[in-house]
Structure 1
Amino acid sequence: MTLIALAQLRRRPTAFTGLAVALFLAIATMTLFGSLFAADVSTPASAREAAAGPGLMVIAGAFGEIAVLVAFFVVVNALGFALRQQHRELALLRTIAATPRQTRRLVRVQVCTTTLLAAAPGWIAGVALARRFLAEVQRLGMAAPGVRVPVTPVPMLVALVALAAVLAVGLAATAVAARRISRIAPTAALTASSTEHGRTGAPRLLAGIGAMAGGVLLLRLAATRPAEQADKAGQAALLASLVLLVAVALTGPFAVRLLAAALGAPVRTLAPGAGWLADANLRGYARRLSSAVVPVALLVGLSGTMLTMTSTAEHAANSAATSVTSATDVWLRQAELVLLACFAAVSTLNTLIAVTAERRREFALLRLVGATRPQLMRMLTVEAVLTTAEGVLLGAAVAGAASTAFSTAVTGSPVPHVPVGACVFIVAGAALLTVPGILATGLRAVHGRAAEVVGGGRD
């Protein structure tokens, strides 16, 4: 199984490119904040006390907890699609007598190999980012000039901890993702690789409801913080937005089916041909649609929450002479926004490319029954617009809830100060990632001889 796993990596490198990028970002992020912790610990107490502000460890902790959680979210998402793209091959292995244990071992080898390949570049990037971040923090006066990222074996220890954590998360996600294909009957495995369940399982739905309840509790915690604890209210609101996005991911097929039903009617009216087919595809494959919508919601939800909270805090400070915000607070929030937006953008592109590329056989079947390539591209255009719209709506709902809680804590009013221009920019960015990503991948997927693709001669 080890040789087969390595052969799969060589044969289908594009299937693991997204996973490798996600792992690289996760290792770099953990190394970044681990190096900052190491820098603070190795600094004499007198030097730490000489700096203004909350301290490097507090900054790294508050900054890093959300970033690391988002990094792991992106890794799990990318891993699921790396496995999904080779679902057919795993099913074929089951039909030729591969045992469930062998199938799971194959997947584990692939994950471990990809993680090890991403480890060294991720560590180098993490250390470089830590030094850059520390220089900016020192420039703002929040860290003493003498603080340095240590050149002792501590960074290597941090890298090993980061690698171990990423591997643990990856292997845990692998066990869950490979469970279904490895436990069903071999003859049913091949059929399952080309079909989609119409219902959301009860355990997943219950987990989604639990995550939703947790997000609501965090929102309440954020809203009840006093104005002088704006930072804590912001962290609680941002964590609530992430938990709510996890709830959206778990209950996604149900949620997007409702949105598809609401948006489908006007689309069928505006584009009778391509709109009807796109609407049928989105309704019939709600799980696939959910997989594409959730990363867009992640991008819009996290970015919208950060921008609106920052704008609300600045507006509160300007309208009342308080110390709710400062230049350093704004810089930290902007830096966190950039990092989270990078994670969300990577997740969006990885998912959209994987979801569209795996539909090659579906497109080939449509061509065999008479559909032309231009017709398929028009259908994909409508699907891309609907996917963007649903992701933006879900992300905006999450950002609105988190921002309302933060505004209640900081200003006493549930109405946050929304930066309209920045929010338009976020929506435009989501559209620029989603629509061209789907169409570029779809353009490649509709090429080739349809009969060969359907027959498995070409993948």
Structure 2
Amino acid sequence: MLSLALRSLRHRATAFVASFLAMLLGAVMIMSFASMLDTAGGTGVSDANVETLVTMASVVGGWSLILVLFAVTSTLSLAVRQRATEMALLKSIGATPAQLRRMILGETAVLAVAAVALAVLPGMLGGRALLALLIDTEQVAPDVTHVFGPAALSMGCGITFVAAVGSAVLTARRTTGLRVTESLMDATAEPRRMSRKRLVGGIVFLLLAADLAVVTATVMHGEGSDAMQTAGQTSIWASIGFALLGPVLVRRVAGLPAAPLERFGGAAGHLTVQNVRQRAHQMAGALMPIILFTGIATGTLYMQDVDSAAIAAEGLLKNDEQKSIETLNFVVIGMVVLFAAIMLINTLVATTTYRRGEFGRQRLTGATPGQVLAMVTLESAVLTVTGVLFGAVASLFTILPFTFARTDTVLPDSGPGTFLAIVAVAAVLTMAASLATAVRALRIPAIEAAAV
């Protein structure tokens, strides 16, 4: 099965790009932040500098781990889901569930090893850039030298490998547990219901976000910038919760404009409505990074703006701790923007490329290339609106309780400019990735594409 896994990777490289990039980016982020632990252990580093470096490594590095684990699991699930027919055929010729699990684990392990190996140099450069940022903002002394050592290598390699293999185990369980007939049916039609584990997971994350929001508004009320310790987490937990509930959101919320689309959208509108109804799980994979990007970026930026305004209103200057918190927040935003943007593009490219056969069959039944592109455009618009909507709701778990805890008011004084900029970036990335991939797919002759 290892030999089969290697041949599968070689001949199906495109299908594994999304998972590989998730592992690679994750390893780079973890190594970059973990190198702060190596740097803190260097000679001549003061206690104050050690505290700053350890905080940067533990807080931001911890969130990196959560986002990486979530992204790897999502992309692996998408890759295995797209290979449902292949899995069914392997079962029909005698492959056992254990053999299929070993094949999936073998593919994932090879990807993880390659990703970790390629992540070392970017991780080293990222750690140096991070330390330079801390020095430029006067949070770390200029004489501190960057060290990339055992902590960065062990955590980057170990965490990435464990996260990848763990995600592969979770992904393989459902696919290998089905019978041959069930696998064949699963390959031709999406499940009508979301799994109970995913539903429970989404609800648990939302409840955790709600709990932290209450703690922020009550226990942390009047604690100044310290309220960020709980408020900053809430939009992350809420975003993950909504992302897990993606299939339900696509069917329920994204299906609301079905009637106007079918009535006024012509053939493209009709195709869009059918895809929203029939491909909810695949569309939910693309919805995930939009929600994460919108929710975490909006929540963190507005939280920082509220805190900065409160400090200015008090006539105070930011102390070293507040500067450190502000830098942490902007590093989180930079990390989330880069990671979510790449994952959004990556996921959309993977899902749209996989639909070449669907596009070919649509063209053979009378749809024009223009109608197919219009369908992809409308789908991207539906995804963007849905992702931005629930990302905005997730951000409120941070913004409202923190504003109350910090200023005794519910709504921040900040205008909508920041949110509109975030929405614009999400829309541009979604549209560009989907349409560019669809245009390339439509260059293939319809008969050839339908046979894929």
> What range is the shorter-chain TM-score in?
over 0.9
The separation in 2 between residues aligned to 1:32 and 1:405, in whole angstroms, is 32
Q: Tell me the secondary structure at the aligned position of residue 138 of structure 2.
A: coil
CA apart distance, 1:217: 0.8
Q: In 2, distance between residues paired with 1:116 and 1:374?
A: 42
Using the size of structure 2 for normalisation, the TM-score is 0.92
Change (3 A) 1:28 1:451: same
What is the CA–CA distance in structure 2 between the aligned matches of 1:69 and 1:167, rounded to whole Å? 14
Corresponding residue for residue 254 of structure 2: 260
Q: Equivalent residue for 1:230?
A: 225
1:50 to partner: Cα distance: 6.0
Residue number in structure 2 paired with 1:423: 419
What is aligned with 1:132? 129
Q: Which residue of 1 aligns with 2:240?
A: 246
SS in structure 2 opposite 1:392?
A: helix
Determine whether 1:397 maps to 2:368.
no
2:69 aligned to 65, 69, 72, which one? 72
After superposition, the Cα gap between the structure-2 partners of 1:96 and 1:36, relative to the gap in structure 1 and judged at 3 Å, is same
My pick for the range that moved more, 268-277 or 243-252, is 268-277
Instruction: State the alpha-carbon separation in 2 of the partners of residues 322 and 407 from structure 1.
Output: 18
Where do 5+ consecutive residues of structure 2 fail to align?
Answer: none
1:453: Cα distance to partner? Answer: 4.0
1:188 corresponds, among 182, 200, 206, to 182
Aligned to 1:347: 343
When residues 209 and 145 of structure 1 are mapped into structure 2, their CA distance, relative to the original with a 3 A threshold, is same
Mapped partners of 2:182, 2:27: distance in 1: 37
Return closer, same or farther for 1:150/1:202 CA change in 2, 3 Å cut-off.
closer
1:42 paired with 2:42, answer yes
2:70 and 2:224 map into 1 onto residues whose CA distance is: 28
Asked if 1 retains the 8 angstrom alpha-carbon contact of 2:221 and 2:404, the reply is no
Structure 1 unaligned segments of length 5 or more: list them. Answer: none
Select the residue among 205, 216, 226 that pairs with 1:211. 205
SS of 2:256's partner is helix
Q: CA deviation at 1:323?
A: 5.7
Find the partner of 1:286 among 280, 286, 289.
280
Q: What is the percent sequence identity of the aligned residues?
A: 30
- The counterpart of 1:338, out of the listed 331, 334, 338, is 334
The equivalent of 1:111 in structure 2 is: 108
**Structure 1 residue aligned with 2:12:** 12
Question: How far 1:324 moved relative to its partner?
Answer: 6.7
* AA of the residue aligned to 2:425: G
**Which residue identity is paired with 1:239?**
Q
Give 3-state SS (helix, strand or coil) of 2:253's partner. helix
Q: Which residue of 1 aligns with 2:377?
A: 381
CA deviation after TM superposition for structure 1 residue 229, in Å = 4.6
SS of residue in 2 equivalent to 1:425: helix
Residue 58 (str. 1) matches residue 59 (str. 2): no
Structure 1 residues 323, 72: CA separation in 2 closer, same or farther (over 3 Å shift)? farther
Cα pair 1:95 1:190 within 8 Å, conserved: no
- Return closer, same or farther for 1:450/1:19 CA change in 2, 3 Å cut-off: same
Of 413, 434, 442 in structure 1, the residue corresponding to residue 438 of structure 2 is 442
Q: Deviations over 1:203-231 (max 9, x none)?
A: 32222222211111121222231444524
What CA distance in whole angstroms lies between the structure 2 residues aligned with 1:171 and 1:41? 30
Checking the alignment, whether the CA contact within 8 Å between 2:222 and 2:406 is kept in structure 1 is: yes
State the alpha-carbon separation in 2 of the partners of residues 139 and 446 from structure 1.
49
The verdict on how the C-alpha distance between 1:341 and 1:227 changes in structure 2, with shifts beyond 3 A counting, is farther
Letter of the aligned partner of 1:300 in structure 2? T
Question: For residue 86 of structure 1, what is the amino acid of its counterpart?
Answer: R
1:179 aligns with 2:176: no
The answer as to whether partners of 1:307 and 1:419 remain within 8 angstroms in 2 is no
